[in-house]
Amino acid sequence: MPAISLRGDAMPPSPIRKLVPFADEAKKKGRIVYHLNIGQPDIKTPDTAMNAIRSINKPVLEYSHSAGYESYRRKLADSYQKIGINVDFSQIIVTTGGSEAILFTMMGTMDPGDEVIIPEPFYANYNGFAVAAGVKVIPVPSSIEDGFALPPIAAFEKLITPRTRGIMICNPNNPTGYLYSKEELLKLREIVLKHNLYLFADEVYREFCYDGIKHYSVLEMEGLDDHAIMFDSVSKRYSACGVRIGCVVTRNCNVLSTVLKFAQARLSPPGLGQIAAEAALETPQSYFDDVVVEYIARRNFLVETLNKIPGVFCPKPKGAFYTTVRLPVKNADDFSKWLLTDFQYNNQTVMLAPAAGFYATPGLGLNEVRIAYVLKLDDLKNAVECLKVALEQYKD
């Protein structure tokens, strides 16, 4: 049998999806599985987007410009300007989801063997994108004890080497729900300028900020025109994960021209997705207001009830719709598998995402899980009840 590549062998499995076969088997047994493992909201996609798809009357679904339809990029730039992010449509490249935006940018700004520093835990697929690009992820640990706040800048400084090309953050954070403050971002600005690095910012959860705290974009900071690169997506903002539309936004013309070459090689982003995404920009503010109210209710319930379970610690997320939770188990991977293979409560069980896969440092996060509170409250209540009973029954 021919060998697979070293790159393919090094590609990590998704901690979010690797337990899917066990969930499928549980469902075949007739069990209800509450999916807390994946950020697939049950929130309704806006009518603006769905109606645009239903009313398509194009005779041909042609390629778009490799950077995306100009009409979409112009409207997207307008939407950014309204929230204080001053960019031109020419500084936006539309991609196949935020995932492609990150991958193309990694390949366009870093050579094989170069390094990017990322606070951990971090979105697990950053590891996969880094492997595909030949880039080495250098983790800087954050702590569940302070809600996964930005690690001290001195910790970043110690990790910088001649191969360091940038620092990457997700804000609000997946998988922790932490929202970096303006003060924390300004500290990152200082170290990025000092060492002439890129500051990569995954801002796909921008609308989901709670308790009156404002989101602050890296593109709002002065002096970073050549350094700041923002990744965005419609997937979570409009509960439209399946349209696969994201973008790279930067004022660095060299980065834009380089990323565009990768975009040209894959021809164009999805046309149907761009039609939906462009129409979604007309979604009224009331839609987001209602969604935020719903997520706050879910968050408050989850944090309150989880922290009442003996041995469980759940920090209070400030944004997104995730929280990373410490459980009274030795190995959350084993526990999460057991939930699907050997446990049921009233013919129900729960699917979790073991948090070790969101860390790059071996041994960290072994007793933690990421929970996505993307289910309606009734389902969330049933899921937490299942988890409580499971922890009472589970034997390490």
pLDDT in tens, 65-99: 999 999 999 999 999 999 999 999 999 999 999 99
Residue 47 · residue 282 · CB < 8 Å: no
Given a cut of 90, whether residue 286 has pLDDT beyond it is yes
Task: Please report, as a single letter, which amino acid is at residue 216.
Answer: Y
Quote the strand ranges of 36-181, DSSP E. Answer: 92-95, 115-120, 136-141, 164-170
Mean pLDDT, the chain, as a whole number? 96
- The whole-number pLDDT of residue 2 equals 92
Residue 49 · residue 277 · CB < 8 Å: yes
Residue 49 · residue 238 · CB < 8 Å: yes
Going by pLDDT thresholds of 50, 70 and 90, the confidence category of residue 244 is very high
In whole angstroms, give the CA distance from residue 314 to residue 27: 28
Residue 211 · residue 318 · CB < 8 Å: yes
Three-class SS state of 120: strand
**Residue 344 corresponds to which tokens in the numbers above?**
């049921």
**Residue 217 corresponds to which tokens in the numbers above?**
């974009």
Give the number of residues written for the chain: 396
**Residue 141 corresponds to which tokens in the numbers above?**
């640990």
- The whole-number pLDDT of residue 18 equals 80
Mean pLDDT value across residues 344-368 = 96
Angstrom distances, CA of residue 199 to CA of 18, 185, 250: 30, 10, 11
- The whole-number pLDDT of residue 329 equals 98
pTM for the predicted model, two decimal places: 0.95
The region of weakest confidence among 7-21, 285-299, 307-321, 375-389 is 7-21
Q: What are the structural domains, with CATH classification, of the chain?
A: 6-44+285-393 (3.90.1150.10), 47-280 (3.40.640.10)
Q: What value, to the nearest 5°, has the Cα angle with vertex 384 and ends 379 and 387?
A: 125
- The whole-number pLDDT of residue 197 equals 98
Given a cut of 90, whether residue 120 has pLDDT beyond it is yes
Going by pLDDT thresholds of 50, 70 and 90, the confidence category of residue 127 is very high
Kindly write down the DSSP assignment for every residue of 290-327, as one continuous string.
HHHHHHHHHHHHHHHHHTTSTT-B----SBTTEEEEE-
Query: What is the DSSP secondary structure assignment for residue 361, as one 8-state letter?
Result: S
221-238 per-position pLDDT tens digit: 999 999 999 999 999 999
First to last CA, the chain: 39
The region of weakest confidence among 16-20, 147-151, 354-358 is 16-20
Residue 297 · residue 380 · CB < 8 Å: no
Mean pLDDT value across residues 6-33 = 90
Rounded to 10°, the helix 47-54/271-280 angle is 140
182-223 per-position pLDDT tens digit: 999 999 999 999 999 999 999 999 999 999 999 999 999 999
Omega of the bond leading into 172 within 30 degrees of 0 (cis): yes
- The whole-number pLDDT of residue 147 equals 96
Residue 12 · residue 328 · CB < 8 Å: no
- The whole-number pLDDT of residue 22 equals 94
Q: What percent of the chain has pLDDT over 70?
A: 100
In whole angstroms, give the CA distance from residue 173 to residue 373: 14
Interstrand relation of 228-233 and 198-202 (parallel, antiparallel or unpaired)? parallel
- The whole-number pLDDT of residue 17 equals 76
In whole angstroms, give the CA distance from residue 153 to residue 169: 13
Mean pLDDT value across residues 255-283 = 98
